[in-house]
Structures are given as structure tokens and as C-alpha cells.
Amino acid sequence: MSFDLDAWLASAPPSPPIVQAGAGVLRRGALEVGHHLLGTPALARLVEIMVEAMRAAPGVGLAAPQIGVPFRVFVAEDDAPRMAQQSAEARALRQRVSLPLTVVVNPRVVPTTGDEATFYEGCLSVRGYGALVPRAAAVAVTGVDIHGSPVGFEVRGWPARIMQHEMDHLNGTLYVDRMIARSLAGEQELPRLAALPVAEVLGELVSQRGHA
Ligand code: CO
């Protein structure tokens, strides 16, 4: 399997739509970015398009398959305007700290702790929903940048969640594969549920069993 990035760039619209769940490209594992692409204008342009798509959405992360490109590349960024959507208390609970623009090619994401955190999470490719997803509380990320220089860092809290979510995309996994299924919520319910302590959500949605 291979993918012609130059041909894709030549035919893609300037702002490609974000692929939605059900598309095969989100379910197949993505391809390693070959050495011949590192440092090329084509790879730089792909990342530029991804960053624009993430900011326009707006989202805090985007993997290449989400714009239809089956390569192992993700971008992530979280800043004050995006974080302002959440109360200071909710941010503190999630350890949601700002994350400067991060681009990783051929990434590896490895938990650095056995501790987990469970919070509501959504995905630009599963529009309109969110669910509780347990994730490792801290991870180490390695890979290369678009020029092939090594990248390596450790993050915890919300940035660690973002890294795990984007890494999953490159392996054909969506958060719905990892969610606590009964916590699934539509966008009308999400702000209310996301503001509740997780134990309360579990009590309201997960521990309930129907009487029907
Ligand atoms: Co996603």
C-alpha cells in the first residue's frame, strides 16, 4: 500500500472537509512517512493544511487520516481562547494546560504511569457526541518533525489525553472504541455532563439499568 501525496495535494480543495466516522481511512492503520518525504514542501504543505483544519474546526488535535491522508502524522494545539470554553475549575480538574503547536511525524506514544484519568472526550470525526474515556495520565511522545529531526517530550493531564487520542487515529482507533459506552452523550447534554464529577455521571448514566 502506498499513497501519492503530491497527487493528493494537487487535487485536494484548499480546506479539505474533516472525514467522519464510517470512512475506511479512519479505520485502516496509517502508513509510515517515508524518508523521501521528510523535508519536502509536500509534507510541509500537508501539515499546514492540517493545522488550518484543526484551528478552523476548532479542535485541539488532528491526525492526517481525518483529512483523508493515510500517513502517520498528527498536529495538536491548545491555547487560551480554546481553553476559555471551560471553567477554571474544570480545567484544573483535567490538568488542561496550554499546549503549543505540536507536530509529530511517525509518532510513538507510551504511557509513563499506570495512573488513569477519565473525562468526557470528543472527536472532530464523530461530530456532535462525547463520552467518558479512560486514558493514561501521562505519556512520553517520540517521533520526528517534518524535516526528520527527532522529537521527544513528556506530557501529563489534558495534553497527554490529546496525544493518546491522535495516536489512536493513526492506528485506526476512534474514542468510541475505548469509551464507557453508556456515557455517550449528544451535544445538548454534553456541557451539563462534562461539568459534573465523573462519579455523578457514572451514577446517572452508567450504573442505571433499565426498568423496561
Ligand atoms: Co479525533
Residue of 32, 52, 77, 166 with catalytic role: 166
- The reply to whether 212 falls in a domain is no
Cα separation, 119 vs 133, whole angstroms: 6
CB contact set of 138 (below 8 Å; sequence gap of 6+)? 111, 112, 113, 115, 154, 155, 156, 157, 160
Q: What is the mean pLDDT of the chain?
A: 95
- The reply to whether 211 falls in a domain is no
Overall domain count for the chain: 1
Q: Is there a catalytic annotation at residue 166?
A: yes
CA of 67 to the centre of ligand 1 (A): 11
CATH code where residue 123 lies? 3.90.45.10
Cα separation, 5 vs 8, whole angstroms: 5
Rg of the chain over CA atoms, in angstroms? 18
Look up the domain containing 173 and give its range: 5-206
CA of 201 to the centre of ligand 1 (A): 22
- The reply to whether 197 falls in a domain is yes
Give whole-number Cα distances, 171 to 8, 35, 52, 108, in Å: 21, 20, 23, 11
- The reply to whether 76 falls in a domain is yes
> Helix, strand, coil proportions of the chain in percent (round to 5)?
35, 25, 40
pLDDT in tens, 46-91: 999 999 999 999 999 999 999 999 999 999 999 988 888 888 988 9
Percentage of residues of the chain with pLDDT beyond 90: 90
- The reply to whether 147 falls in a domain is yes
- The reply to whether 186 falls in a domain is yes
C-alpha cell at 101: 503547536
Confidence band (pLDDT; 50, 70, 90) for 211?
Answer: low
- The reply to whether 29 falls in a domain is yes
Sign of CA dihedral 90, 93, 94, 98: positive
Average pLDDT (4-11) is 97
